[in-house]
Structure 1
Amino acid sequence: MQVSIDKNSGYCFGVEFAIKMAEDEMEQSDKLYCLGDIVHNDMEVNRLAAKGLVVIDREELENLHDCKVLIRAHGEPPETYKVAIENNIELIDASCPVVLKLQHRVKTAFDKMEREEGQIVIYGKKGHAEVIGLTGQTLEKAIVVMEDSDLEKIDFARPVTLFSQTTKSTKGFYELSKKIEDRIQAAKGAPVETVDFNANDSICRQVSNREPQLQKFSQENDVIVFVSGKKSSNGKALYQVCLSENPRSYFVESESELNPEWFHSSDKVGICGATSTPMWLMEQVKNYLESLEASTLPA
């Protein structure tokens, strides 16, 4: 059995930067608070917890004083910074630059939409950390859309400005954009004018470029082992890309979930993962697969 790891998989810049900031800070202190899981991967969260990273929620943040709190790559709404000032909390801000730029764009567009009685629509998962940060730029007035049924929240007779959570599927964004455009046309009974609908593809290219890369990788291997935390939106989306190209694709959180019956001794096995998957975890999966005795696998 031949086993390889996709060289394009693993942490995106934002996640890698946040983890490096956390580790650097913990070298000087035995405890650092983190607002939410630093990454959607339980094994990495547990590794950092052993070093002193304590995960807290927003309610716990309000009761903390005179300490240090890490803001992860997903970014935070303005309310978090307000609480930090009131409670004398030093923020270690590891917000991804791509997310920060998007927050600014959303805030600017929201101010414009307020003047024009329009709406901000965000293609994303309601309750996701990044989406919370984005809706916070709009005084919580943004409409979060994920499924077709969510479109009912939009008033198609009024102007719409659309953005996307940075880790969503490019295909999904353009499909949603077309549906909104069609609804606006139906509501107005006329072609869409630029002032009525403004669609902003705000998906991170470091994420979207992985789709064609994974399609090729999935075609080149007999079996795909996709390693990701089950809470990762990006992981779920990228796994579907693999599965669409290779029906012998399996989603696992760690090597403990691997089933030897999935493999044949003559297989080329490709290991890949999400932007929240650490390289050390994919290497652990590779080592396990290489340790399987060829004699125990079907030919």
Structure 2
Amino acid sequence: MKIEVAQHCGFCSGVKNAVQLAKNSLEKQKNIAVLGDLVHNKVVMDELKDNGLVFVDSLDKVGNMPLLLRAHGTDVNLIYAAKEMGLNIIDATCPLVREIHKHARELEEEGRQVIVIGDRGHDEVIGIVSRLHDPYIIESPDGVDSSKLKQRTGVVIQSTQRIENVQNILPLLLTKSCDCRIINTICEPTRRNQTEILSLAKNNDCVIVIGDPTSANSNRLFEVSRSLNEHTYMVASKEEINPIWFNDCTSLGITAGASTPGKLIEEIVAYINFSNGDNKK
């Protein structure tokens, strides 16, 4: 069985920077607090936890520890509260997410109602809308029909959104307002990875997406590939791999989400190679 690993997969620059910032900070501080996952990957978070990262569910439990802000952004009201409490804040927000915050505010300053295309409950979307006065979240084309939008609007997009979903939403939005300014804030790693997965899915018998089930971008890759290749599987570890998947498989494509560490990708590729006795393409 031939194995083709996507040219670009695993940690994006934003995740890599956030994880490195956490590691560097833990070398100086015994413990650092974080509200929720720094990045959406259990393997990464467990390693950081072993090195002193402490998960808390409220600011009251931070105590004297520095507070690490997550890569995908934080509700601005929480940041204000943390500053009022005098907490030492370490900001690991992805620079590309900060750009979305900037664009969204610019659109609002132009007098536009800001529409956010994204998953309503995702931390990144929560962070974006917390910085706006009258935002409107649209998750799918169905959400456009029931929307009550102003005639002057602006659009930003969750950085890890599925491109096809956005392409289906935008034409409908244009029928709802007469003056709509769109800023494509899907990040470059997402656009690149979703383009590469098209080739993997079409040119291989099977596809494996390596990623944590809580990772939005990993799930997007899985959705795109599965829509083209029914023999697409998503795993978070080598233990989740079922050898039956490869019974009639002569070529396997492998990719990974932007929060998947390189060592996990290497481990899974080595495991499959060893199990099948083949060499990587």
1:259 aligns with 2:245: no
Separation in 2, partners of 1:119, 1:17: 32
Q: 1:279 aligns with which of 262, 272, 277?
A: 262
Aligned counterpart, 1:69: 67
Partner AA of 2:274 in structure 1: S
Aligned counterpart, 1:10: 10
Aligned counterpart, 2:209: 226
Calculate the aligned-residue CA RMSD, in Å.
2.0
1:134 aligns with 2:134: no
Separation in 2, partners of 1:5, 1:47: 25
Aligned counterpart, 1:178: 171
1:24-65 CA-partner distances (Å, limit 9, x unpaired): 1112223111222011112222122111112233xx124434
Unaligned runs of at least 5 residues, structure 2: none
Partner AA of 2:119 in structure 1: K
Separation in 1, partners of 2:234, 2:171: 31
Superposed displacement of residue 5, structure 1: 2.8
Q: Calculate the TM-score normalised by the size of structure 1.
A: 0.85
1:209 aligns with 2:203: no
Which protein shows a greater Rg?
Answer: 1
Unaligned runs of at least 5 residues, structure 1: 185-191, 295-299
Aligned counterpart, 1:164: 157
Partner AA of 2:54 in structure 1: V
Separation in 1, partners of 2:276, 2:75: 51
Partner of 1:209: helix, strand, or coil?
Answer: helix
- Runs of 4+ aligned residues of structure 1 deviating over 6 Å after TM superposition are none
Separation in 2, partners of 1:200, 1:153: 23
Q: Is residue 6–residue 196 contact of structure 2 (8 Å, CA) maintained in 1?
A: no
Partner of 1:9: helix, strand, or coil?
Answer: coil
Separation in 2, partners of 1:157, 1:204: 27
1:99 aligns with 2:59: no
Identity %: 25
Separation in 2, partners of 1:63, 1:46: 20
Kindly tell me the number of residue pairs found equivalent between the two proteins: 277
Separation in 1, partners of 2:49, 2:65: 17
Aligned counterpart, 2:227: 244
Q: Is residue 67–residue 88 contact of structure 1 (8 Å, CA) maintained in 2?
A: no
Partner AA of 2:231 in structure 1: R
Aligned counterpart, 2:117: 123
Aligned counterpart, 2:32: 32
